[in-house]
Every structure is written in structure tokens, then in C-alpha cells.
Amino acid sequence: MGAGWRLYGIWICFAARLLFYASMLPLWEGYDEWAHFSVIRIMATRGVALAPRYAPVPRDVAESLDLAPVPWELRGRPSPAVTQDAFWRLAPEERAGRERVFRNMPPAWRQETEPTLTAYEALQPPLYYWLMTPVLYFASHFSLGAQVVTLRYLSVLLASLAIPLFYRIAMAVFDDADVALACTAVAALMPEWALDVARVGNDCLSLVLFTLVIWIGLKLLEDGPTIRWSVAMGAALGCGLLTKAWFLAAAPPVALLYFGTHPGAGGDKQDAPGAGRSTGAARTSACATLLIATAISGWWYIHNLVTTGTLSGLSESVILRRTGIGELAAAAFHIPWPTAIDSILFSHLYYGGWSSLTVRSWMYHVFYVLVLAAAIGLVRVARRPSLVWLLLIYATFWLGQLYNVVLIFMSKGVPTSMGWYLFAAVAAEVPLCVAGLRGLLPKRFSNWPLFVGALLFGLLDLYTVHAVAMPYYTGLIAHRATGALASLPWADFRLANLGVVFHRLVIFKGAAMVWPVILVLWVVYLLTTLWLMLGGAEWAAPGRRRDILR
């Protein structure tokens, strides 16, 4: 049976969950959100296509960082800035006074600047900012909080476009609507994915475009190097490169699609990408992809080379622009790689926004065990061209993450990278994990990975929202002196606390965000999360379907 209404149900549920996350997150809690917003504001108010790299932020944004509670990672900001922890220890009169000043900031402050802070995200490619600038221009009469929420809502709706693409990718791999739907439901339940895109920032657009590249790659495998799909690949790749510099990691696997054997529609018996010789059609199609991608995004990377001496233009690359390959390789031997990989994995599973909220270590380790098992299982099943393509593009993305670890370690002395970036490749990650785990299990248990995945991610999401995020953002829990987050004292929790939570979640978000709105969004979030959990588990009910990969 086809996907039908069930796919639309997942899509709607995913969008509803994201809208709740976008409403729940405090102002500037999203990763680098104030800097992303400042770039858009500068473009909208000045009417420029590119914000200057070191442009000072608008004055109202700078003032908001002193009035509203800031994320834990910004705890070093000087007074009067306070973290979420400290904000809820202030007297109620002072909290109300801060919000009153925030609501009544003069409109002129939107035009003025604060030279002590710079919109450092102007170093990012501009496509996302171009899309958001007209929206902010027409919302210029909104308050600052309302402007941020408006851009968040538009960003999450943009991110939801990944869901139908994700389903098509899973269908291309498993050729089974129930399995593909269950894969999509599992991905839609991932809490860190919601946290990553429920903010003002370019990850929402980049993950859609990267998912599009993955799907077009599967179509190239199926149909061969046709001009139609090659043009589409060039457009998707070019737009991606104009959204995030790490799209450069997609270039090698895309090249292998053209300069290998092309399986065609019945490609299961053919060689994997990169195994064969280049053909005239492949060369023509590859040139079309290259020319289109370069025409769209090449100017930006030339601009980076001219202005920063680096291809990406990112801060770590600029700091290390005179560092040779030999020095980078030597530094790699001094990095504690287990620590670095662990930081990527746990910040991919759940990192709680810019306040770096985490859960118990054993919860992460449950998923680590499943990931390790999936990697072992892939050795048995990763012979199909579709799986090889997913593995290539996912592995290349990981290599980009590890390279970023080297850059961050050399420039800042910290062995880490941003695990939430991996959600750009989640459309490859989930099918690969499912295929690997299915490859380890007997035929009658082959659907257990999806069944368990839907339940585990759903429970993780419900737990992190209700026992970590909402309590922390409303002052019910705080960081201990050690920096660890305290546990929610369930024994002392009362129904009245829930009312306090909803009243506190709406502060600094504009006059339209009142507590009944967040309450309704929370109820919808609960219903849609439960539907995804039960639906994903039911579609992948153990023993219901045959093992497609055998």
C-alpha cells in the first residue's frame, strides 16, 4: 500500500512539533541566533545584498542581550546580562521591569548600531538571509520578539520540506512504503533536529537542500546521467553552496556518480558508484552540473578568496589560513579523537540549544550501541548502489566534521565539532542505520530497528522537553556549581508548576505570544509526537513485512 495520507500526516506532525519548539525556545536560545538575525536585520534596514563581515549589530539586539536571559554558553557576558539560571533568581519586579523595557525599546534602535558586538554570521553564504530579508522588511513594525518568532516559524516550515524528500529516499532504498514511512517517522521524532531548525539560522535551508542532493543522486543512479537530473543536481548543489560552506563535502561523492558505472533502473546487479569508467554522457552531465553549481555559487567563493584568503571564509579557516597541510596533519595526531567523536555524537543526539543542556550519559550510550551495531551490519548489506551512495555521502560529511575538529582544536584548543550539523545528512543516516541493523537480525526480527527507533526517539524527545528544556527555561531547575544541570525534583512537582511554566515561556516574544497560545501548541505537540511514535511503531510492527534487503 502506498504512503497516501500517512506521509502528509507525518509532514503535518513534524511541522507542528517544530512550531512548538520555535515557540518554546527562549529568545536567542538557538545556536548563534542573535548573530544570524542581525545579518538579516542589516540587509533589511540598509537594503544591501551582503552584510559587511564585521558589521556592528543593531542596537535593539545588543540591548536585548542585556535585558532577556542569555544562554548558558554566553554566561561570560558582563552585567547586566544574566543567564537563564540567574534571571529566575531576580526579584519578580526586576524581571517585569526588564521585559517592560524590552517591549518599549524605541523603533529608532533598529536603525542604530552597537559597535561592541558584530554580526559574525555575515561570514556565512547569503541565500538563507536573502530569503528571510523581505519577510523582515515587511515585518519591520513588529516588536523585536515578534520578528524573531516570525522568522523562526518561517524557518521551521521551510525545514519541514525535507519530510517528503526523506520519504522518497527511504522508498528508493527499501522499496516498501511501510518501512519508508517508519524511517521518516523516526527522523521526525529526533529532538536535536527540532532544536537545530527551530531558530533563526541557515540550517533549516541547508538540510533541505542537502536532502535534495541525496535524492537527486539516487535518481541519477536509477536513470543514469541524464541532463534533466544533472541540471537539477547542479541547481541543488549550487544553492547549497550558497547556503553553507560545508556543502563542499558533497562534491566528491557527486563526482563519483558521474565517473563511475551508472546502474540504471534495474541497478541492483551493477557496480557501485566509482567502480567503472567515465562515459561521454557522464562527462556531459558532469559538466552541466559543474557549470550550473559554479554559476550559482562560484562568485561567493571567489569573494572569500579575495577578502579572506580562504575558500570557506569561516573564522577558523581565516585564523589558520597560513597553516600548511603538514601542520594540520601533525596537529591531528595530538587530538583526543575519542573525546572529539563523543562530542559530535552527543551533540547530534541531544544538546539542548545554546544552553548546552544534556541528559544522562547512559541515554546517549544506548544510541551509541545501536550506531555501532548498525555500522557492523552495513558490512553485510551495503552492496546495493543506493546504499553505497548514501554511505559515500554520509562518510564524506563525517570527514568534513573531523576536518572541522582539527580546525577548532588548532584555533581554540577544544577537540569538538557541531554534531547538529549532521542533520543535513539525516536522510542518509537513518536509512543506513536501519539497513545495517536489519542486516544483523534474523528475517523475522528485521523490522525491530524501526519499531525500537520510533519508541526510543519519541521517549527521548518527551523526556528532554518535559524534564530538561521546559523546566530549565522557566527556572524550575538550574546548573549546579560544577556546571552540570540539576534534575527536576519530580516529587515536589505540582500541577500549579505547569501553569507557571506556560506563563514564563512566553516572555520576550512579542505581544501575540500569550500563555494560551503556548498551551495549545504544547497540546498539539504532545498529540503529534504520540501519533508519530505509535504510527512509526505500527508501520514497522515486528514480523509484519518481509526483509527487503535480503
Give strand ranges (E) for 411-506.
Answer: none
Angle of helix 448-463 relative to helix 361-381, nearest 10 degrees, comes to 160
* pLDDT at res. 489: 78
Instruction: Please state the separation of Cα 407 from the chain's center in Å.
Output: 21
Name which of 240-244, 320-324, 435-439 the model is least confident about: 320-324
- Residue 262 clears pLDDT 50, i.e. is over it: no
- What's the average model confidence in pLDDT over 301-306? 93
- What's the average model confidence in pLDDT over 485-510? 81
The residue ranking higher by pLDDT, 93 or 544, is: 93
Share of the chain above pLDDT 70, in %: 93
- pLDDT category of residue 449 using cuts at 50, 70 and 90: confident
- pLDDT category of residue 273 using cuts at 50, 70 and 90: low
- What's the average model confidence in pLDDT over 351-356? 91
Q: In this structure, are residues 20 and 521 in contact, taking their beta carbons and an 8 Å threshold? A: yes
Q: Which residue reads 544483523 in cell numbers?
A: 440
- Residue 491 clears pLDDT 80, i.e. is over it: no
* pLDDT at res. 443: 79
Q: Nine-digit cell at 387?
A: 546504499
- What's the average model confidence in pLDDT over 227-246? 95
- What's the average model confidence in pLDDT over 25-43? 96
Q: Give tens-digit pLDDT for 125-158.
A: 999 999 999 999 999 999 999 999 999 999 999 9
- What's the average model confidence in pLDDT over 375-383? 85
Please give the Cα distance from 140 to 144 (Å, whole number): 9
- Residue 322 clears pLDDT 90, i.e. is over it: no
- Residue 6 clears pLDDT 80, i.e. is over it: yes
* Close Cβ partners of 478 (under 8 Å, ≥ 6 residues apart): 84, 85, 88, 472, 485, 486
- pLDDT category of residue 459 using cuts at 50, 70 and 90: very high
Helices (H), 309-360: 315-319, 325-332, 337-349
* pLDDT at res. 546: 42
Q: How many CA atoms lie within 13 A of 260 on its CB side?
A: 23
Helices (H), 224-314: 227-241, 251-258, 280-308
User: What is the overall mean pLDDT for the chain?
Assistant: 90
* pLDDT at res. 339: 94
The pTM of the full predicted model, rounded to 2 decimals, is 0.92
Give exposure, 256-291, as e/b (b: 16+ Cβ within 10 Å).
Answer: bbbbbbbbeeebeebebbbeeeeeeebeebbebbbe
- Residue 348 clears pLDDT 90, i.e. is over it: yes
* pLDDT at res. 442: 83
Cα distances (angstroms) measured from residue 64 to each of 142, 185, 270, 282, 508: 15, 37, 59, 54, 9
- pLDDT category of residue 548 using cuts at 50, 70 and 90: very low
- Residue 538 clears pLDDT 90, i.e. is over it: no
- What's the average model confidence in pLDDT over 95-110? 94
Instruction: Please tell me which of 15-29, 298-312, 429-443 the model is most confident about, judged by mean pLDDT.
Output: 15-29
Helices (H), 88-202: 92-103, 127-138, 144-159, 162-174, 177-188, 191-197
- What's the average model confidence in pLDDT over 444-451? 82
Name which of 355-359, 377-381, 516-520 the model is least confident about: 377-381
* pLDDT at res. 480: 87
* pLDDT at res. 276: 44
Instruction: Please tell me which of 99-113, 275-289, 374-388 the model is most confident about, judged by mean pLDDT.
Output: 99-113
Please give the Cα distance from 472 to 175 (Å, whole number): 43
- Residue 257 clears pLDDT 90, i.e. is over it: no
Number of other CB atoms surrounding residue 463 within 10 Å: 16
- Residue 368 clears pLDDT 90, i.e. is over it: yes
Please give the Cα distance from 164 to 7 (Å, whole number): 7
Q: In this structure, are residues 115 and 476 in contact, taking their beta carbons and an 8 Å threshold? A: no
- pLDDT category of residue 541 using cuts at 50, 70 and 90: low
- What's the average model confidence in pLDDT over 2-18? 91
Please give the Cα distance from 468 to 272 (Å, whole number): 44
Share of the chain above pLDDT 90, in %: 73
Give exposure, 504-513, as e/b (b: 16+ Cβ within 10 Å).
Answer: bbbbbbbeeb
